[in-house]
Amino acid sequence: MKVGIIRFPGSNCDRDVFQALRLAGGEPDYVWWNQRDLTDFEAIVIPGGFSYGDYLRAGAIAAITPVIDGIKDAVKEDKPVLGICNGAQILAEVGLVPGVFTLNQNAQFICQWEEMEVKTTRTPFTSFYKRGAVIRMPIAHAEGRYYNPEMDNLKDQDQIVLSFVGKNPNGSMEAITGVCDLEGKVCAVMPHPERASESILGSDDGLKFFKGLINY
């Protein structure tokens, strides 16, 4: 499966995602922010980082670049799209997933391992997990507090993908740290599955995100 990894000025998890996709058996390639045509790819990953220095709001400026139009086309063609950390913030800014990821409750940059529960397995990225599975992945963000004034819709439509277990480090509503669109094809997660894709990194719990995608 050919997977496009989107690069913005300030992206910094692109090569980690490349490695994780390779491990999962995919054929990743990099795509620069000004490329409008993404028809060569069967899936898209927006990696983490600090696109455009997080100016205005994390993800706000990346959200209006030409590659986003290509991603919108990919979504219309039912291609899976994963946003990780800054990628998740971008997908929320674009409106491809509901709600926003905004400044952490304690106003700190939080960088630590956390446990989280897989709330739905209907997305390509979580199809290799069991519903309710508790997995360990790192988070690294200042703007990761999930906020959505329409929480009932989110639950009714099975759009919660991940939520923290045991604590709520950034003050997210209902400890949510991953959501998807109505179809379940566009997935936005704050934790970094690529940083938990090999046991030498401390956990390989995240590799299934990429295996699920490649085998979709």
- Whether 141 sits among the annotated catalytic residues: the reply is no
Is residue 51 close enough to count as binding another protein by CB under 8 A? no
CA–CA separation, 134 and 82 (whole Å): 20
Nearer to another protein by C-beta: 173 or 201? 173
Mark out the alpha helices in 63-103 (DSSP H runs): 66-76, 86-94
Minimum distance of another protein from residue 93's CB (angstroms) = 7
Among 76, 107, 167, 200, binds another protein (CB under 8 A): 107
| Collapsed DSSP state (helix, strand, coil) of residue 89 | helix
Is residue 212 close enough to count as binding another protein by CB under 8 A? no
Q: Could you tell me if 83 and 101 are in contact, meaning their C-beta atoms sit under 8 angstroms apart?
A: no
Which residues make Cβ contacts (< 8 Å) with residue 199, sequence separation at least 6? none
Is residue 105 close enough to count as binding another protein by CB under 8 A? yes
- Whether 192 sits among the annotated catalytic residues: the reply is yes
Q: Which of 13, 85, 180, 187 is catalytic?
A: 85
- Whether 111 sits among the annotated catalytic residues: the reply is no
Nearer to another protein by C-beta: 9 or 171? 171
Is residue 200 close enough to count as binding another protein by CB under 8 A? no
Q: Which of 101, 87, 107, 99 is nearest to 33 (CA)?
A: 87
Is residue 152 close enough to count as binding another protein by CB under 8 A? no
Reading the block at residue 163, the tokens are: 């939520």
Is residue 102 close enough to count as binding another protein by CB under 8 A? yes
Q: Which of 91, 136, 102, 101 is nearest to 117 (CA)?
A: 136
The window from 1-9, 34-42, 56-64, 174-182 that contacts another protein (CB under 8 A) reads 56-64
HSE toward the beta carbon, residue 212, CA cutoff 13 A: 22
Q: Could you tell me if 180 and 74 are in contact, meaning their C-beta atoms sit under 8 angstroms apart?
A: no
Active-site residues: which are they?
85, 192, 194
Could you list the residues that contact another protein (CB under 8 A)?
A: 56-57, 60-61, 64, 93, 99-100, 102-107, 145, 147-149, 171
